[in-house]
Amino acid sequence: MKQRVLLGMSGGVDSSVAGYLLREQGYEVIGVTMKVWPQDCISRAEDKCCGPQAIADARSVAHSLGIRHYVVDEAAQFERLVIDYFSSEYQAGRTPNPCVMCNEKLKFGNLWSKAAALDCDYIATGHYAVIEHVVAEGSDPGRVDLRVSSESAGVSEPGYSYAILRKGVDPRKDQSYFLFSLRQPQLRRALTPLGRMTKLQIREIAHSLGLKVANKIDSQEICFVPGNDYKTFLRSHLGESEFHRGEIYDVAGNFVGEHHGIELFTIGQRKGLPGGFSRPRYVVDLDPATNRVIVGDADDLICAEFEIDRVNWHPVAGKACTACSASSLDEGQRTEVRGVPSQNGESGKPSPNPLPLEGRGEQTRVHSERRPRSSFEATVKIRYNHPGTPASVTPLENNRARIHLHEPQRAVTPGQAAVIYDRDTVLGGGWICRQEALVPA
């Protein structure tokens, strides 16, 4: 019998071609489009992934591919889990990342109930990321992309299935950053067929199939924030009365002026600040306790160390930090020790235990994962469009970690995700915490 896949269809070229590829790989594909715009969403009439045109385009593609298509109303959940989170983060002086939250809570979260109702084995999306499924059985060193019947098997038991999240091969489109917070139960039932392809290849396939979305422009903004004008959106969603007014100070503690809402500022911002200075001023800190906006010079934005919380460690993290970071092995040997295929496809066999038997680290009970025990070297991305920078990562208690950047970076922003990589493999990630106030109240 064919395995059945529920494919999230946004009406764009990526998810459309994903449907074709899955069908050609032998899956029975069912398309679903989430209606996520609430009635007061000011962009609901636009051609966005949360707008009605997206549904029409997805339905048209599904018809062309000969697959079933459904529309599910997730407007209430989208407002509660994504839009309210988006607004409350700005009110708390943090800069949100709604795409990460939408993936975790909706696309790979709530949508599973629909997939289960339709007797689907997997959920698939058009993300540019690679998810490898590994099954270990006793002395078998592990097999990739095979199903496992036991959902309760432990991390080192025969029959345990785990997933490895890796960067997509197209560096300009890689979206592994947005999937870092997915837990193993979510990753194990996820498929991302575009991960090993480039955007050019995807458009060529769409043209060859005659899909009407072949030339559809990619959205470069948050789907529910038209024109990327988040300030206008917040005014519409929250209302001016909900903004937290306060004062602006410089890093020396000097009063600079007043502001109309801490929600209107982000770390690194230059526009919208009082003038009259001999050199440019930037927002370097937001203090939600006092509603103070702190401004300073460009050098005041440089950060060498910070902490992250709500860390999600992937099973390969323990392998990477205990077997690789402290050794003198070359890159090929490191891949064999870790049991993760290298980017060029040459690798040792996957390990039957995604974490080493000795020094595996302590169990994080909340998510049934294990965190690495000691510091290790990695590459860290502090925002989606950041190229990544070498860092030392120290796991801490209570799902936290300390990140020490070998080269200090500009505008490390509380509320954004910091994702930890070993070359192309995601080891984990968490949410950047605000540090001690620069200007005491």
Pairing of strands 246-250, 255-259: antiparallel
Residue 235, domain member (yes or no): no
pLDDT at 156: 47
Strands in 282-287's sheet, in edge-to-edge order, are 255-259, 246-250, 292-296, 282-287
Residue 437, domain member (yes or no): no
pLDDT at 441: 64
- Amino acid letter at 113? S
Predicted confidence band of residue 22 (pLDDT cuts 50, 70, 90): very high
Predicted confidence band of residue 29 (pLDDT cuts 50, 70, 90): very high
Q: Residue 247: which domain range?
A: 243-296
Residue 72, domain member (yes or no): yes
308 and 270 together in one domain: no
Specify which residues 295 forms β-bridges with: 250, 283
Listed residue (175, 114, 130, 162) closest to 367, CA to CA: 162
318 and 171 together in one domain: no
pLDDT at 329: 28
Predicted confidence band of residue 435 (pLDDT cuts 50, 70, 90): confident
195 and 323 together in one domain: no
Predicted confidence band of residue 163 (pLDDT cuts 50, 70, 90): very high
Contact call for residues 433 and 414 (beta carbons, < 8 A): yes
Domain stops at, among 262, 280, 296: 296
Residue range 55-82, pLDDT digits in tens: 899 999 999 999 999 999 998 999 999 9
Active site residue 102: yes
Contact call for residues 136 and 158 (beta carbons, < 8 A): yes
pLDDT at 343: 35
Residue range 271-304, pLDDT digits in tens: 888 877 778 999 999 999 999 999 999 999 999 9
Q: Residues 126-142, buried b or exposed e (16+ Cβ, 10 A)?
A: bbbbbbbbbbbbeeeeb
Domain stops at, among 152, 184, 209: 209
283 and 136 together in one domain: no
Residue 215, domain member (yes or no): no
pLDDT at 372: 80
CATH code of residue 319: 2.40.30.10
86 and 147 together in one domain: yes
pLDDT at 404 over 60: yes
The 10 Å Cβ neighbour count of residue 365 is 7
Query: CA-CA distance, 126 to 170, in Å (whole number)?
Result: 13
The secondary structure of 392-425 as a DSSP string is: EEEEETTTEEEEEEEEEEE---TTSEEEEEETTE
90 and 21 together in one domain: yes
Query: CA-CA distance, 15 to 125, in Å (whole number)?
Result: 6
Query: CA-CA distance, 249 to 260, in Å (whole number)?
Result: 14
Query: CA-CA distance, 33 to 13, in Å (whole number)?
Result: 14
205 and 307 together in one domain: no
Q: Residues 382-418, buried b or exposed e (16+ Cβ, 10 A)?
A: bbeebebbebbbbbeeebbbbbebeeebbbbbbbbbb
pLDDT at 360: 28
Domain stops at, among 265, 296, 327: 296
- Name, in order, each residue with C-beta under 8 angstroms of 62's C-beta and a sequence gap of 6 or more: 9, 19, 31, 68, 69
Query: CA-CA distance, 377 to 392, in Å (whole number)?
Result: 5
341 and 277 together in one domain: no
CATH code of residue 273: 2.30.30.280
Distances in whole angstroms, Cα of residue 40 to Cα of each of 1, 34, 199, 303, 385 = 44, 17, 34, 39, 30
Q: What percent of the chain clears pLDDT 90, i.e. is strictly above it?
A: 63
Residue 237, domain member (yes or no): no
Residue range 341-358, pLDDT digits in tens: 333 333 323 322 222 222
Specify which residues 273 forms β-bridges with: none
- Amino acid letter at 357? L
What average pLDDT does range 148-173 have in this prediction?
A: 70
Helix or strand run (H / E) with residue 435: none
Count the domains in the chain.
3
Residue 220, domain member (yes or no): no
pLDDT at 408 over 60: yes
Q: What is the DSSP letter of 23?
A: H
270 and 156 together in one domain: no
Question: In whole numbers, what is the pLDDT of the chain averaged over residues?
Answer: 82
64 and 15 together in one domain: yes
264 and 328 together in one domain: no
Residue 438, domain member (yes or no): no
Residue range 210-268, pLDDT digits in tens: 999 999 888 777 888 877 888 988 988 888 889 999 999 999 999 999 999 999 999 99
Of 41, 49, 102, 321, which residue is the catalytic one? 102
Of 41, 99, 223, 324, which residue is the catalytic one? 223
